[in-house]
Amino acid sequence: MKTEKLYYNDSYQTTFKGNILEKYVVQGQPALILDKTCFYPSSGGQISDRGMIEGIPVLSAEEENGKVIHYLEKEIGAGIGETVCGKIDWPYRFDHMQQHTGQHILSGALMKLWQKDTQSFHMGEEISTLDIPAMVLDEQKIREVEQLTNQIIYEDRVIHNYSVKNNAELKEKGTFRIKHEQFEELRIIEIDGFDISACGGTHCNRTGEVGLIKVTGWENRKDKIRISFLCGLRAFADYQKKHGIIKNLSHYFTTGIEQLEEKIIQLNLEQKELSKSVDRMERRIVEFESEELKKENRREEKDFFLIDKLFMEHKIQNIRQMAQLLAREEKSIIVLGAEKPEPVLCLALSSDLKFPVKEMFNKVMLEFKGKGGGTENLVLGKLEREDDLQKAYQRLVQLILS
C-alpha cells in the first residue's frame, strides 16, 4: 500500500492523522510508514520536511516505492494499525515553498527570455541553484531576468496544481517546459499565463507569496551555467544583512552609501601609494643604519671582522637587507636580530670568507626551538619565544668567536 501524499493537494495543511503501516529500525534509526502524510520526502531537488509525530521529532523523510518513510529521533510507542497525529514544521516548509515556487518562476523567465530550459534544481539549507545550458551571461542579463521574475511576483498570479493522465491531455494545456513522453499520471504546476511544468514538490498558491527573487551569482561549468538564487524570507534576510554591512561601512568611512564604492577604491589606491613610499623610506633607513653599524659595531677579531646588533624592532625583510648590505664588506661576519614584530635572528658572511655559518646557525636554532634557513652566506630564522632571543643571540656570537 502506498502512502497518500496530502501535500499534493494542499501544501498549506500542517497537521494530519495517519495509520501506521510499518515500523522498523534502520542502522539504529527508527523508521515509520503511514497510510497518509503531510511530510514531504526529499526529492526533485527539494529538502524534506521536518516536524513531529506524536511529539517525537521527525528528522527527515524519504520516498521508496510510493511509500513515505519518516525517520524519527526515537521509537514511537504506537503499534501497526494505530492512528498517530503528525505536525510539520510550518516556517521550515513555507521557506521551501518560497524557494521552490521561486525556482519555477526563474526557470519560466529563463525560458521566456533566452529559451534556456532548466536541467536540474538543488535546494540548499542556505542557497538554491539551478543549471541551464551554456550561454553568455552578464550583469545586464541577470538584471533582466530578475526584473521579469519579480514582475511575475508582483502580478500575484494564481498557481494551479493538477494531474494529467496522458500526452493528449498535456497538449491541451500547452507543453511549455515539459519533456515527458511516457507516463501514467503527471502532476502539473502551472503559473497562470506564464509557465507550465511537471513537478511533485510543494508550492505556493500565488506568486505573490514568493515575495522576492534575487540571483546571487552564477558560474560557468563546462557545458552549463549554475545560477544561485534566494527567494522570499531568505532574500529579505540577505538584504537586511547586506544593508547592515553597507551601513556600517558607510559610517566607518564617514561617507554616504552612494559614495562608498568610490571612497573605498580611492582609499585603496592611496594606501598602495603610501605603502610604496614607506618601503622607499625604510630602504633609506636600512642603508643609513648599515652605515652606522659599520662605523660603530665593527670589531676586528682574529682573522675576520664581526658586526653585530640586536634591535628592539625591525621587519624581517629589513634585517635581511641590512645583513646583505653589510656582507659586502671584506672579511665580515654579521649577526643581527630583532625582538619585534617577531623574534628573528640573521647570520651573514662576506663572500671572501669561509666559515660554517649554516651549521652554527642551525645548532642555535635547534637549541632554542627556532625555524629558518638560507644559503651558505645568509641564514635567517624565527624563534618561538621572544624571551629566548637575547640568549640565542649571545650563543651565536659566542660560537663564532670560539
Q: Which is nearer to Zn ion, 199 or 345 (CB)?
A: 199
Choose the binding region for Zn ion from 22-30, 54-62, 193-201, 267-275 (rule: CB under 5 A).
193-201
Instruction: Give min distance, CB of 147 to Zn ion, in A.
Output: 22
Q: Which is nearer to Zn ion, 11 or 321 (CB)?
A: 11
- For residues 12 to 31, the per-residue mask of contacts with Zn ion, x marking binding by CB under 5 A and - elsewhere, is --------------------
Q: Which is nearer to Zn ion, 121 or 305 (CB)?
A: 121
Q: Which is nearer to Zn ion, 102 or 201 (CB)?
A: 201
**CA atoms 30, 36, 38, 40: torsion sign:** positive
Assigned C-alpha cell, 350:
662576506
Residue whose beta carbon is closest to Zn ion: 199
Assigned C-alpha cell, 57:
521529532
Instruction: Give min distance, CB of 201 to Zn ion, in A.
Output: 4
Kindly provide the b/e burial profile for residues 348-381, where b requires at least 16 CB atoms within 10 angstroms of the residue's own CB.
bbbeebebebbebbbebbeebebebebeebbbbb
Q: Is 178 in the site for Zn ion (CB under 5 A)?
A: no
Q: Number of helices (H) and strands (E), helices first, in the chain?
A: 9, 21
Instruction: Give min distance, CB of 100 to Zn ion, in A.
Output: 5
Q: Which is nearer to Zn ion, 45 or 337 (CB)?
A: 45
Choose the binding region for Zn ion from 27-35, 191-199, 219-227, 296-304 (rule: CB under 5 A).
191-199
**Beta strand segments in 35-119, E:** 36-37, 51-53, 56-64, 67-72, 83-88
Instruction: Give min distance, CB of 199 to Zn ion, in A.
Output: 3
Q: Which is nearer to Zn ion, 32 or 199 (CB)?
A: 199
Choose the binding region for Zn ion from 94-102, 264-272, 332-340, 352-360 (rule: CB under 5 A).
94-102
Note whether 380 and 344 are within 8 A (CB): yes
Three-state DSSP at 28 gives: coil
Rounded Cα distance, 102 and 104, in Å: 5
Instruction: Give min distance, CB of 11 to Zn ion, in A.
Output: 10
Q: Which is nearer to Zn ion, 201 or 381 (CB)?
A: 201
**Beta strand segments in 89-183, E:** 120-123, 128-133, 159-164
Note whether 225 and 217 are within 8 A (CB): no
- For residues 95 to 134, the per-residue mask of contacts with Zn ion, x marking binding by CB under 5 A and - elsewhere, is -----x----------------------------------
User: Which DSSP string corresponds to 339-393?
Assistant: EESS-EEEEEE-TT----HHHHHHHHHHHTTEEEEE-SSEEEEEES-GGGHHHHH
Q: Which is nearer to Zn ion, 201 or 232 (CB)?
A: 201
**CA atoms 196, 201, 204, 210: torsion sign:** negative
Rounded Cα distance, 225 and 137, in Å: 9
Number of residues this chain uses to bind Zn ion (CB under 5 A): 3
Instruction: Give min distance, CB of 278 to Zn ion, in A.
Output: 58
Identify residues 199-238 at the interface with Zn ion (CB under 5 A).
199, 201
Residues that bind Zn ion (CB under 5 A): 100, 199, 201
